[in-house]
Amino acid sequence: MSLLPPLPAPLGLLAELTHRCPLACPYCSNPLDLERRSGELDTATWLRLFEEAAALGVLQLHLSGGEPAARSDLAALVRGASRAGLYTNLITSGIGLDAARLGALAEAGLEHVQLSVQHVRAAEADRIAGLSGAHAKKRVFAGEVGRAGLPLTINAVIHRANIDVVEEFVREAAALGARRIEVAHSQYYGWALKNRAALLPSAEQVAETRATVERLRVELQGTIVIDYVAPDYFGRFPKPCMNGWGRQSLNVTPSGRVLPCHAAETIPGLGFWSVRERPLREIWQESPAFNAFRGTGWMREPCASCPRREVDFGGCRCQALALTGDPRNADPVCMHSPARALITAALEEARRSHEQFAYRRYVPATTKAANPLTAAAEG
Ligand code: SF4
Ligand code: FES
């Protein structure tokens, strides 16, 4: 029996059903080492996990990847999650889901769809996604979501190659029938860190984007809700990553390891427990990884005595590790961090950079494939 005090229940669970993906986005925040199909959890284990999540108090289930449509059992997973009483949100590229499959998902209880888009112009969108024809398929899919009677959120990850079309993103999302758009600046974890110099916009572009979002929020009030995720490199303080480590949410990898955030496995020595071996409640309450950075006891200065320590929780542990080499350091985005110069240097490097994207490919470059999703599913 656990001797730990009871913890608040997590609100959300992100199920990374697979790392297989037809796209090759340079801003992908998934880990550098992707999991293979052969290691993925089977249907029954996911369904047991969803029951355990609901019993633990989780309300929202985000079905993600990679591309969750690469799982042929997606409708069964949605049905099981829905029966467990979870609100189900599908986070998808829209590739590989036709009207029939989407109808089956709606019939199984799917409640919301979040569709990623890369640009408003097809040629640019396909260049960023690394897949010819992707944009056209996404537009068709958005229409199918509306016909299936499902609410749609458009997710636009913003970076230097598309920051000049934020207004068009919002207007197109409204035209496609989306109720909400998330204008989210790229975060620099996983694969995205490799492309940071090619992705980071300028301070002027960021300021202009913020003003555009404010203007459109007023103009389009009642038509579409605009969520804005600011780029932390341009702020004085870091974001409260995950709203605090192990406080509100958990991620499950395709093979069943349970993480406090999607990049947590970059932190060495944490000890991640798997749903194959332990109940979710025990993992949430007792796993070494979840307890490593809960609360404020782990903090060093300047965070330990900072009045904002329970506002931003010292920022992002994974960013602190990636940039300073130690996850217990303050996020270097913070103006109080002794490593803040690393952020200034990255912005300067980006300003001078004309780098090309390094694409994230699930399928080895030597594999020739007519249908990228089918090829990805063979992984
Ligand atoms: Fe946040 Fe730490 Fe900076 Fe304070 S010193 S603002 S807690 S990152
Ligand atoms: Fe891991 Fe921020 S992404 S704590």
Residue among 213, 211, 206 nearest 231 (CA) = 206
Q: Is it the case that residue 376 has pLDDT exceeding 50?
A: no
List the Cα angle 92/164/228 in 5-degree steps: 55
The pLDDT value given to residue 309: 96
Q: Is the CB of 360 under 6 A from ligand 2?
A: no
* Proximal ligand: closest to the CA of 265: 2
Residue owning the nearest CA to atom 2 of ligand 2: 316
Q: Is the CB of 318 under 6 A from ligand 2?
A: yes
pLDDT band for position 28 (cuts 50, 70, 90):
confident
Q: Is it the case that residue 358 has pLDDT exceeding 80?
A: no
The pLDDT value given to residue 31: 67
Q: Is the CB of 240 under 6 A from ligand 1?
A: no
Residue among 154, 149, 145 nearest 102 (CA) = 145
Give the three-class secondary structure for 320: helix
Q: Which helix (H) or strand (E) holds 15?
A: strand 12-16
Q: What is the mean pLDDT of residues 3-7?
A: 62
Distance (Å, rounded) from C-alpha 361 to C-alpha 25?
A: 8
The pLDDT value given to residue 37: 87
Q: Is the CB of 188 under 6 A from ligand 2?
A: no
Going from the Cα of 351 to the center of ligand 1, the distance in angstroms, rounded, reads 27
Q: Is the CB of 147 under 6 A from ligand 1?
A: no
Q: Is it the case that residue 371 has pLDDT exceeding 50?
A: no
Distance (Å, rounded) from C-alpha 221 to C-alpha 126?
A: 30
* Proximal ligand: closest to the CA of 298: 1
For 201-255, write each residue's pLDDT tens digit. 999 999 999 999 999 999 999 999 999 999 999 999 999 999 999 999 999 999 9
Going from the Cα of 320 to the center of ligand 1, the distance in angstroms, rounded, reads 12
Q: What is the dihedral of CA 280, 284, 288, 292, to 10 degrees?
A: 160
Give me 363's structure tokens. Answer: 């399928």
- Please state the atom number of ligand 1 nearest to the C-alpha of residue 299: 2
Distance (Å, rounded) from C-alpha 198 to C-alpha 193?
A: 10
Give the three-class secondary structure for 88: strand
Residue owning the nearest CA to atom 1 of ligand 2: 318
Longest alpha-carbon distance in the chain: 58
Distance (Å, rounded) from C-alpha 145 to C-alpha 147?
A: 5
For 31-78, write each residue's pLDDT tens digit. 667 788 889 999 999 999 999 999 999 999 999 988 999 999 999 999
Going from the Cα of 308 to the center of ligand 1, the distance in angstroms, rounded, reads 6
Q: Is it the case that residue 326 has pLDDT exceeding 90?
A: yes
Our mutation pick for probing the ligand 2 site, out of 316, 323, 324, counting the most ligand atoms within 8 A of Cβ, is 316
Distance (Å, rounded) from C-alpha 186 to C-alpha 228?
A: 11
Going from the Cα of 309 to the center of ligand 1, the distance in angstroms, rounded, reads 6
Q: Is omega for the bond preceding 66 within 30 degrees of 0, making it cis?
A: yes
Our mutation pick for probing the ligand 1 site, out of 298, 336, 342, counting the most ligand atoms within 8 A of Cβ, is 336
Q: What is the mean pLDDT of residues 68-91?
A: 97
The pLDDT value given to residue 5: 58
Distance (Å, rounded) from C-alpha 211 to C-alpha 122?
A: 26
Give me 310's structure tokens. Answer: 């329970």
Q: Which of 163-177, 185-199, 204-218, 270-284 has the lowest mean pLDDT?
A: 185-199
Q: What is the mean pLDDT of residues 291-305?
A: 96
**Buried b or exposed e, range 19-54, using 16+ CB within 10 angstroms:** bbbbbbbbbbbbbeebbebeebbeeebbbbbbbbbb
The pLDDT value given to residue 21: 82
Q: Is the CB of 252 under 6 A from ligand 2?
A: no
The pLDDT value given to residue 377: 33
Tell me the one-letter amino acid at 55: A
Q: How many CA atoms lie within 13 A of 145 on its CB side?
A: 30
Q: Is the CB of 315 under 6 A from ligand 1?
A: yes
Q: Is it the case that residue 26 has pLDDT exceeding 90?
A: no
Q: Tell me the average pLDDT of the chain.
A: 90
The pLDDT value given to residue 362: 61
Cβ–Cβ < 8 Å for 159, 199: yes
The order of strands in the sheet holding 152-158 is 225-229, 180-185, 152-158, 112-117, 87-92, 60-64, 12-16, 249-252, 258-259
Residue 243: CB atoms within 10 Å: 13
Distance (Å, rounded) from C-alpha 360 to C-alpha 348?
A: 25
Q: Is the CB of 242 under 6 A from ligand 2?
A: yes
Q: Does the pTM of the predicted model rise above 0.85?
A: yes
The pLDDT value given to residue 194: 84
For 306-320, write each residue's pLDDT tens digit. 999 999 999 999 999
Q: Is it the case that residue 368 has pLDDT exceeding 50?
A: no
Tell me the one-letter amino acid at 271: G
Q: What is the mean pLDDT of residues 89-110?
A: 95
Cβ–Cβ < 8 Å for 327, 318: yes
Going from the Cα of 152 to the center of ligand 2, the distance in angstroms, rounded, reads 27
The pLDDT value given to residue 370: 36
